[in-house]
Amino acid sequence: MNTTINFDGKEIWFITGSQVLYGEKILKQVFENSQIISEEFNQSNLIDVKIICKKPVKSSNEVLKICEDANYSKSCIGIIAWMHTFSPAKMWISGLSILNKPIMHLHTQFNYEIPWEEIDMDFMNLNQSAHGDREFGFIMSRMRIGRKVVVGHWKEKAVLKKIGIWVRVAMGVNEARNLQVARLGDNMREVAVTEGDKVSAQISIGCSVNGFDSSDVTDRMAKFRNKQVEELVAIYENSYLISKKLKKNGEMRSSLFESARIELALRDFLVEGKFNAFTNTFENLGKIKQLPGIAVQRLMSEGYGFGAEGDWKTAALVRILKVMSHGLTGGTSFMEDYTYHFGADKSYVLGSHMLEICPSICVEKPKCEIHPLGIGAKEDPVRLVFDSKPCNAINVSLIDVGNRFRIIVNEVEGVKPLSDLPKLPVARAFWEPKPNLSTAASCWILAGGAHHTAYSQAITTEYIEDFAEILGIELVTIDDKSTIGSFKEKLKLNEVYYHIFNNKL
C-alpha cells in the first residue's frame, strides 16, 4: 500500500447555517444537534475522513471567515453545509464567492418523523431545513456553484453512503490539486488521444505534468548494491509464481535481476521527485534495457498512477481513482481495450496492455514470466501475468477535446474469460460493457473516448459524477440505460453548454 495515500489528518468541515434572529437558546440547540450529527458521521464506517463540527454561522462575516479558514487550511478538504434553521442566503454570498474547497449540501433535518402530539411553534422555528435548505440551494444555483446535494435523514444508510462517496471524492480532488505527474520520454509518436494541453490540466484539474529523460532513471541504477537487488528478487519469489526461465539457474535469470534493478531506480526517482503518477513509452527508453513491466505493475499496486505511451491524463486518472478507492475492496488499473469476442447473445472486450496491468485487480497469485515484446527492439521484459477478478467495474477515460476536458465512463461487468488463454503472455481483464458492446462502443467512439482507461472495480459512476461536478469537467456516462440517440443529443448539448460556461481554460 502506498504510504502517500493517507486519509488521516484530513478533515471535512460540517457547517450549519442559521441566523441571529432566533436567540441564544435555539442557537445552542442548533449547535448541539449539529454535534450529534457529526458524531454519527464519525462513528459510521461508511465515512472515512474525520468530520469536524464547526460553530453554526449566523452572519455574512462569520460565513466569510469560515470560508477563508477552509481555503487556507491544509487539513480541510471540503465542506458539508446544512441549514438547520432558515439562514438568509445573501449572508452566504461573500463566503461562497471565495471558497475554493469542494462543497456538499446536506439536506436533512434533526428529527426523523413529525412529533404529532408535541409539535409547536418552538419546534417549527428550530427545525426549518425543509425551507432553509431551499433558500441555500437557490443562492448556490444563482452563483452557479457545482455541488452534490444529499437528501434524507442523517442516520439513513443511503445518506451516509452518499456522503462517504463524496468525502472520498474530495480526497481525490485534493490529490488532483497536489499531484505531480512525471513523463519519462514524450508521447508515442503520432498518437493523438494521449496528447493534450498540460497547462489547461494544471488550471482546471490541478495536476502538474512535466517531462524527464530515461537517464533520470538509468543514472540511478548503479547506486543500488547487488544485495538490494537480491532482496527485491526474493520478494518477487515470495509473491509470485516464477516461471522456469526466471528461476535460479534458469536461462533468463539475469533479466529478472535487471527488472528488479529497474524497479529500484524507478521507485527512487518517483519518491525523490514526489511524483505519484508517471508515464513512459517504449519509443523513448534510452538505456533502459527492457520496457518496465513488473516494475510498473508493482508500483501501480502500491498506489502510483501510470499511463503507457506518454499518456499523462490516464496516469493522473489512475492515481486519483486509487486515492478515492483507498482501502475499499477491488483494484484500479491502467487498461486498454484490446480485442473483442463477438457473440450472438453477448459480446465482450478483452482488456490488457503490452505489460502494464495492475495486480490490484487480479483474482489469484500472479505468475512472473518473461516473453519477447515484439515491438521496440529491446530485451525481453519481465511481467506479471494474471486474470482480473470477475466483478462489476467502470472504465474511465479523460480526454482533451480542444476547449475543455471530457470524462467518459462505461459501466461494465467483469466476467471470467470464456476459456483459458495459455499463450497470452500478459495480464488481462474480460468484461461485458453495459448496456451491450454495440451501444457502449458506439457511444464511446462518438464521445472520442480513448483506448486507454482507468479500470476500477472499487468505485462506481457516482464517484466520477461527484469528481466531475467539483472540478467543472464535462462527464458523459454509458450504462445499462444508455441509447445511442440520447447520447448523441447529450454530446451536442454539452458542446453548447461548455461553449457558454467553460471559463476555466
Cα separation, 115 vs 120, in Å, equals 9
- Of 20-28, 96-104, 107-115, 335-343, the segment contacting Mn ion by CB under 5 A is 335-343
| 3-state SS, residue 482 | coil
- Of 150-158, 161-169, 249-257, 304-312, the segment contacting Mn ion by CB under 5 A is 304-312
* Cβ 159 to Mn ion shortest distance, Å: 41
- Of 46-54, 306-314, 373-381, 403-411, the segment contacting Mn ion by CB under 5 A is 306-314
Q: Which residue lies nearer to Mn ion by CB, 324 or 385?
A: 385
Helices (H), 222-333: 226-239, 253-273, 294-302, 312-324
* Cβ 397 to Mn ion shortest distance, Å: 12
Q: Which of residues 48-87 bind Mn ion (CB under 5 A)?
A: none
Q: Which residue lies nearer to Mn ion by CB, 309 or 466?
A: 309
Q: Exposure of 440 by Cβ count < 10 A (0-12 exposed, 13-18 middle, 19+ buried)?
A: buried
Rg over alpha carbons for the chain, rounded to the nearest Å, is 25
Q: Which residue lies nearer to Mn ion by CB, 336 or 400?
A: 336
- Of 57-65, 165-173, 331-339, 372-380, the segment contacting Mn ion by CB under 5 A is 331-339
- Of 85-93, 266-274, 334-342, 408-416, the segment contacting Mn ion by CB under 5 A is 334-342
Q: Which residue lies nearer to Mn ion by CB, 54 or 353?
A: 353
| 3-state SS, residue 394 | strand
Q: Which residue lies nearer to Mn ion by CB, 309 or 387?
A: 309
Scored b (16 or more CB within 10 A) or e, 172-207 reads bbbbbbebbbbbbbebbeebebbbbbbebbbebbbb
Cα separation, 87 vs 471, in Å, equals 27
The answer to whether 284 and 277 are in contact (CB under 8 A) is no
* Cβ 309 to Mn ion shortest distance, Å: 5
Q: Which residue lies nearer to Mn ion by CB, 309 or 465?
A: 309
Q: Which of residues 308-327 bind Mn ion (CB under 5 A)?
A: 308-309
C-alpha cell at 359: 495486480
The answer to whether 474 and 493 are in contact (CB under 8 A) is no
User: How big is the site for Mn ion, counted in residues (CB under 5 A)?
Assistant: 3
Cα separation, 222 vs 261, in Å, equals 9
String marking each residue 411-450 x if it binds Mn ion according to CB under 5 A: ----------------------------------------
Which residue type sits at 471?
A: L
Q: Which residue lies nearer to Mn ion by CB, 67 or 316?
A: 316
* Cβ 99 to Mn ion shortest distance, Å: 39
Residues that bind Mn ion (CB under 5 A): 308-309, 336
